[in-house]
Structure 1
Amino acid sequence: MLTLTYEYKLVPTKSQAEAMQHILDVCGSVWNYALRDRKDWIASRKSPINACSLRSEYVIGVDAPYPGFNEQCKGLTQAKQLSPRLKSVNAQVLQQVLRKLDKAFRDMKDRKFGFPRFKKRGRMRSFVFPQLGKHPLGQGAVKLPNIGRVKIRQSRPYPDGFQVKQARIVKRASGFYLMLCFQSDLSIIEPPLTGHFVGVDVGLEYFLSTSDGLQLERPKFFVDLQRQLKLLQRRLKRKKKGSANWLKAQKKVALLHEQIANTRKDFHFKTAHQLCNQGDVVAVEDLNLIGLSRGMWFIKATRHRQR
């Protein structure tokens, strides 16, 4: 099974953009309600029997099951019959929100992640269509459930021999983007380790060094635009929060952050492409980057104290 993800820029109309923003708002409400339901159940089980909580807590019966994914999906089906706002959004999209929340709780236990947070307005930035129906892809457009035919900037053609499985809509400062997931039954054979070998080492003075003598300087995308970012953030601070000028200044800051992320991502892809063209086999050291970063932080702190 081979899976590919293609990213395209959406060019929606005003009504389509409002529809996608409405779906994001409803998904955020479902996330917050489901998270609150789980937190109340956990708090009711942690309350001591000889003391009262400093805050008011819901009293949940002992026989009440844990509000897992299946239980919350059943509750969502009942809530859609009573709420027109929930009924206006695709049921599978809302189920994917509950599935994402369930994965966040599992990662908290298994991978020691932090406790899931509530989504304030504007923090829910993506939603998923797990099914797109028949023939959803067109030349320069894609058909999305409950939204209709949306134009896209088709920067590259769709892969041949692949079937589209799901679509994710992501909202960024520069607009809406579409992530299409393609799958194929192709089986990839492990290539033999023959040909020209290239060893890659990550350093401190250089971004990387190869066994062929290539040394790439460490780019400083954030440092190069830090002065401009500082100016925009100072202007944002002087605006009245919630006003039209505050929203415009906030968007300028978000666009600059997105520009920094895009330039960094472009550099990484071009560097990987250069390494693949340089040799047949690329070997890297299995480093604990998190441990190295903690060690560098300790060294910098020690040097600062010595000064």
Structure 2
Amino acid sequence: MLTMNYTYRIDPDATQEAELRSWLETCRGVYNYALRELKDWIASRKCSVDRCSLEKEYIIPADEPFPSYHRQQNNLPKAKKQCPHLGKVHSQVLQTTIRRLHDTWEAFQKRGHGFPRFKKFGQFKSFVFPQFKNNPINGFTIKLPKIGEVPINLHRPIPDGFKVKQVRVLSRVRGTQWYVVVTIESDISVPDAPVHGRAIGIDLGLERFLTASDRSFQERPKFFKSMQRKLKLLQRRAARKQKGSQNWEKAQIEVARMHHQIANRRRDFHLKTAHRLCDRAPTIFAEDLNVKGLTRGMLRTDCVDAAFGQFLSLTEWVCWKRGVYFAKVNPNGTSQVCPSCFATVSKGLEVREHHCPECGDRTHRDCAAAEMVWHRGLENVVSQGLWGTETACQVGLSGVYDLDKWRGAGIPNREVGKPAL
């Protein structure tokens, strides 16, 4: 079973937009009420009976069962009789809201941190229609239950053999832009791409966004810093408005729209760079970076702006879609080892050139790290016995072969002679 998500922009009218916002607030209220029941039940049982404070703890009978997903879901019809406005929202949308809470609760129990939090006004930004009897997309409109037909920007068609499984409605830019994430599925199975053809290793950094083992590189666009001056101006204007007024809301929308534009530019750059890598080699190795650790150091602003984690995730998706083998390797010490003789060459972060005293190899620091990533990737696939296996892994999905304008584009910059420090 193959499942994928396609994101489309929708354009509801004023009435539909008001109803969508009302649904989001209703779902937020249901989510918070269910979370309140969960927290009250836990608070009444987190200490012994003879040590429980009668003033601060909630007293719930000892035989009261845990408010599980099924119990809270079954209580929804009773709640609709007491609160008639709940009946305006589709019943399955409310059920998936309860399911969302308990998925968060189960994830908290597994990792031991990240207890579910109450959602403030405007923080609940999506809801789900979990199933459809018929295809809701008809031409350039999508039919949402109880909402009606909404114009949709169907920039790529649903592939043949796929059917719509569920639709998630997203609110962006403070409720001024609306999207739908259409989940499609098919009975076909796509095997993993084999290790084949030419292999390259890539190293990610801040001086250069990407450096490949063939000594080509890609400069790092500074998406946030290039727009920071204008963003500060918009934020200053918003801070001077009276909070809660119409002018304040308009100013906040301008700020949110600027953040949305920065995120779109960054994602577009990541996708194009991933496609260019796939054009150059059918096997790609990358470092398994500790992304959370990078966002806590002194260079956290630049690391967040570069978004290495998003790039690696998108590259893995693009490689799967295009039948390119992608794997991550251990990143420890890739810049401290000579790729020619494998001798340890210790150097600080300020040293941007690799010079090995053993073999005399001299190159840019990032190039040496990329070559070490390439070596480690080949060692891993050889030790696992994956080299030389071939399987058919191409499927006719929308967007896989429509890349003629990127074919052969490569990465424009390439080192010639001694690297620039």
Q: Same fold (TM over 0.5)?
A: yes
1:52 aligns with 2:81: no
User: Which residue pairs with 1:277 in the alignment?
Assistant: 279
1:95 aligns with 2:95: yes
Mapping of residues 1-307 of structure 1, within 5 Å: 1-47=1-47, 49-50=50-51, 52=53, 56-173=56-173, 174-294=176-296
Say if 1:132 and 1:143, in contact at 8 Å, map to a contact too.
no
Q: Hey, what's the Cα distance between the residues in 2 that align with 1:46 and 1:145?
A: 42
Q: Hey, what's the Cα distance between the residues in 1 that align with 2:112 and 2:269?
A: 31
Report the Cα offset of residue 113 of structure 1: 3.9
Q: Hey, what's the Cα distance between the residues in 2 that align with 1:292 and 1:124?
A: 28
Q: Which runs of 5+ in 1 are unaligned?
A: none
* Greater shift in the superposed pair: 43-52 or 16-25: 43-52
RMSD: 2.0
Give 1:52's aligned amino acid: S
Residues 185-236 of structure 1: CA deviation (Å, up to 9, x unaligned): 1111333311111211223421121112221122211111111111111111
Say if 2:135 and 2:163, in contact at 8 Å, map to a contact too.
no
Task: Give the secondary-structure state (helix, strand or coil) at the position aligned to 1:160.
Answer: coil
Report the Cα offset of residue 281 of structure 1: 1.0
Task: Give the secondary-structure state (helix, strand or coil) at the position aligned to 2:95.
Answer: helix
Q: Hey, what's the Cα distance between the residues in 2 that align with 1:121 and 1:294?
A: 29
TM-score between both structures, scaled by the size of structure 2: 0.67
Q: Hey, what's the Cα distance between the residues in 2 that align with 1:274 and 1:19?
A: 42
Say if 1:169 and 1:177, in contact at 8 Å, map to a contact too.
yes
Residues 101-147 of structure 1: CA deviation (Å, up to 9, x unaligned): 11111111212442211112111100000012323111111111111
Say if 1:132 and 1:145, in contact at 8 Å, map to a contact too.
no
Report the Cα offset of residue 42 of structure 1: 1.1
Q: Hey, what's the Cα distance between the residues in 1 that align with 2:299 and 2:112?
A: 22
Higher relative contact order (CA 8 A, sep 6+): 1
Q: Hey, what's the Cα distance between the residues in 2 that align with 1:189 and 1:129?
A: 30
Give 2:196's aligned amino acid: T
TM-score between both structures, scaled by the size of structure 1: 0.91
More helix by share: 1
- Counting aligned pairs with the same residue, the percent is 48
Give 2:138's aligned amino acid: G
Alpha-carbon spacing, 1:294–1:22, altered in 2? closer, same or farther (3 Å)? closer
Say if 2:135 and 2:164, in contact at 8 Å, map to a contact too.
no
Give 1:223's aligned amino acid: K
Say if 1:167 and 1:178, in contact at 8 Å, map to a contact too.
yes
Residues 45-86 of structure 1: CA deviation (Å, up to 9, x unaligned): 125634636x64431111111112111111122212332111
The alignment of Structure 1 onto Structure 2 pairs a total of residues equal to 298
Give 1:126's aligned amino acid: S
Give 2:245's aligned amino acid: S
Task: Give the secondary-structure state (helix, strand or coil) at the position aligned to 1:46.
Answer: coil
Q: Hey, what's the Cα distance between the residues in 2 that align with 1:12 and 1:294?
A: 40
Report the Cα offset of residue 276 of structure 1: 0.8
Residues 18-37 of structure 1: CA deviation (Å, up to 9, x unaligned): 11111101100001101111
Residues 136-195 of structure 1: CA deviation (Å, up to 9, x unaligned): 111111111111111111111122110100000000014110110000111113333111
Q: Which runs of 5+ in 2 are unaligned?
A: 301-348, 350-421
Q: Hey, what's the Cα distance between the residues in 2 that align with 1:260 and 1:51?
A: 51
Task: Give the secondary-structure state (helix, strand or coil) at the position aligned to 1:39.
Answer: helix
Q: Hey, what's the Cα distance between the residues in 1 that align with 2:143 and 2:276?
A: 36
Q: Hey, what's the Cα distance between the residues in 2 that align with 1:215 and 1:14?
A: 48
Alpha-carbon spacing, 1:39–1:232, altered in 2? closer, same or farther (3 Å)? same
Q: Hey, what's the Cα distance between the residues in 2 that align with 1:15 and 1:290?
A: 42
Give 2:272's aligned amino acid: K
Say if 1:201 and 1:208, in contact at 8 Å, map to a contact too.
yes
Task: Give the secondary-structure state (helix, strand or coil) at the position aligned to 1:225.
Answer: helix
Give 2:30's aligned amino acid: V
Task: Give the secondary-structure state (helix, strand or coil) at the position aligned to 1:128.
Answer: strand
Report the Cα offset of residue 293 of structure 1: 4.9
